[in-house]
Amino acid sequence: MFDLSPEEWTAIHLSLRIAVVATLCSLPFGIAVAWLLARKKFWGKGLLDGIIHLPLVLPPVVTGYLLLIAFGRKGFIGSWLAEIGIVLAFRWTGAALACAVMSFPLLVRPLRLSFESIDRRLEDAAWTLGASPLKVFLTVSLPLAVPGLIAGTLLGFAKALGEFGATITFVSNIPGETQTISAAIYTLTQIPDGDAAAGRLVLVSIVIALIALVASEWLSRRAGQRFHGE
């Protein structure tokens, strides 16, 4: 029962690669956007907030379809990207983009709350001690937002790992290219005798999710000790 077939290994490997790439690539943007929303007042802030949260409330198929329109080979961004040799449609990179878009609100939210809860007087203190605004951010604000960073990264990663609707709409379900664990399970439920294989992949999903949860719990506890310990 626990002998995974090469196809199943491929799906697991692909899922992890897509989720890791999606999370790592959206992290810098997530930090920047969370900071903007937490600290800055600017025209269109409400609009930006709304657009970021849209994937959370839209049907995933709709988000996937919008991605296809925009980033497909004939899409207004996709055709431009194709000219410089970047193709996202029906590629694993496209799956990573879909996962990044879908998980972005979950990544941003805890980070934003963390930035909002920082005692800004500490930032003023750092400023008077000779730290430029960028150094204040890197040495005080960001380290103090680590709990939100960990929570956001975990939530984003988990969402990216489990994303199905937008991914399958945008990049389809191609074994070895865009077939993630979720898509593979879906395929297996559609064929006779697929139950055992589907069961194995379900088990693998649970194990990956548990590992991510335990790792983030451990990291949060360490971060907590750093702030409150001796």
Partner 1 sequence: MTMLAVDVKRTLPNFTLEVAFSSDGTIALFGPSGSGKTTVANLIAGLVKPDAGRIVVNGDVLFDSTQRIDVPAHKRRIGYVFQEGRLFPHMSVARNLDYGRRMNGLPRDDNDHDRIVAMLNLGHLLTRRPGKLSGGERQRIAIGRALLSKPRLLVLDEPLASLDAARKAEILPYLERLRAEKLPMIYVSHQPDEVRRIADHVVRLEGGRVAAAGGVELLG
Which of residues 140 and 181 has its CB atom nearest to partner 1 in the complex?
A: 140
Q: How far is the CB of 107 from partner 1 (least distance, A)?
A: 22
Which of residues 3 and 121 has its CB atom nearest to partner 1 in the complex?
A: 121
Query: Cα 20 from chain centroid?
Result: 8
Distances (CA, A) of 153 to 8, 111, 210, 224: 26, 9, 15, 17
Within 10 angstroms of residue 56's Cβ, the number of other Cβ atoms is: 14
Which of residues 119 and 195 has its CB atom nearest to partner 1 in the complex?
A: 119
The dihedrals phi and psi of 90, each to the nearest 5 degrees, come to 60, 25
Which of residues 143 and 199 has its CB atom nearest to partner 1 in the complex?
A: 143
Nearest to 87 by CA among 63, 68, 100: 68
Q: How far is the CB of 223 from partner 1 (least distance, A)?
A: 8
Q: How far is the CB of 143 from partner 1 (least distance, A)?
A: 5
Structure tokens, 3:
């002998």
Residue type for position 170: F
- Positions in the binding site for partner 1 (CB under 8 A): 119, 121-122, 124-133, 135-136, 139-140, 143-144, 146, 226-230
Query: Cα 189 from chain centroid?
Result: 26
Residue type for position 36: L
Q: How far is the CB of 145 from partner 1 (least distance, A)?
A: 10
Q: How far is the CB of 147 from partner 1 (least distance, A)?
A: 11
Q: What angle do CA 144, 150, 21 make, to 5 degrees?
A: 125
Which of residues 28 and 130 has its CB atom nearest to partner 1 in the complex?
A: 130
How far does the chain reach from its first CA to its final CA, in angstroms?
50
Q: How far is the CB of 146 from partner 1 (least distance, A)?
A: 8
Q: How far is the CB of 137 from partner 1 (least distance, A)?
A: 12
Which of residues 57 and 125 has its CB atom nearest to partner 1 in the complex?
A: 125
Which of residues 65 and 127 has its CB atom nearest to partner 1 in the complex?
A: 127
Distance CA 51, CA 102 (A): 11
CA dihedral 33, 37, 42, 46 (to 10 degrees): 100
